[in-house]
Amino acid sequence: MSWYRNTAWFVKGLREYTRGGYESASKHFNPADVEVDVGGRSFLVTGSNSGIGKATAKEIARRGGTVHLVCRNKERAQVAKEEIVTETGNQNIFLHIVDISNPKEVWKFAEKFRNEHKLNVLINNAGCMVNNRELTEDGLEKNFATNTLGTYILTTALLPLLEKEADARVITVSSGGMLVQKLNISDLQSEKGTFDGTMVYAQNKRQQVVLTEQWAKAHRNIHFSVMHPGWADTPAVRSAMPDFYEKMKNSLRTEAQGADTVVWLAVSAEATKLPSGLFFQDRQPVTTHLPLASTHSPPEDEEKLMEVLEEFSQKFRYSSPG
């Protein structure tokens, strides 16, 4: 059953995740938080050729940041880069073509990037929702490969670079859909039972929350956060969730509204006054569990997730070309 049919989740979503929810929350925003100059700081945004990733990259570029766009499709990425440069006047926009679902490619990119650039802020935005079980060329289930393993490898590979900088941050774009999922480490590649793409995606997003919490404990010099952008009108939502889009299209947030909290987490001084490892929605930390939901996991499961991902990561690192 798709997550938006979960009653508690859907009622919460109608109240908070729609455009109306954003407009209500934004009445309490302090505009000065994001009226900052980030010239001289370097930002890497994955999945930045469209949707929330592109909106985020554009807002950071407007504020003078050096922006590295990490995208899978070269043609669409080039168009996005040109649009960002034209609209912002910022020439410090760099393009990298990487398929986040390919762990060897992620490793190769990250190791090259470490040798050539500095990095202050990593924004893990790239994601996918494949509604039928597909395997990558490495035999990995595609949602897991992109949303969880790709995010894990890119982040851990770039941590040494981030550790060198003051006020380093890692922001991961998750989803409130994770509220309907408890961490399940026994079936990371969705091999058991009937495959439901929306539930697999939600499980991956729960995994991203756990990753953020674990990284925050292990790396005290970096500020980690994970966030829910609300229900936004993006190309990904239109293609992956057509029924949901048709039902909700008149109430969805704009891409810029969906990106607002990402930008706030990336550039504001206020964000890092809050503890590392929290889950955010509309510039506020929020709970990662619905009331009465049995979604809490024992610490050993969360530690096991990190161990398994590290094993995967090292396996593909040593087979990485170049």
Active-site pick, 4, 22, 152, 201: 201
Contact criterion met (CB below 8 Å) for 36 and 27: no
Instruction: Write out the two tokens for 9.
Output: 């989740």
Q: How far apart are the first and last CA of the chain?
A: 43
Which residues face 121 on adjacent strands?
43, 169
Contact criterion met (CB below 8 Å) for 76 and 67: no
Query: Does 4 qualify as catalytic in the annotation?
Result: no
Q: Which residues are catalytic?
A: 201
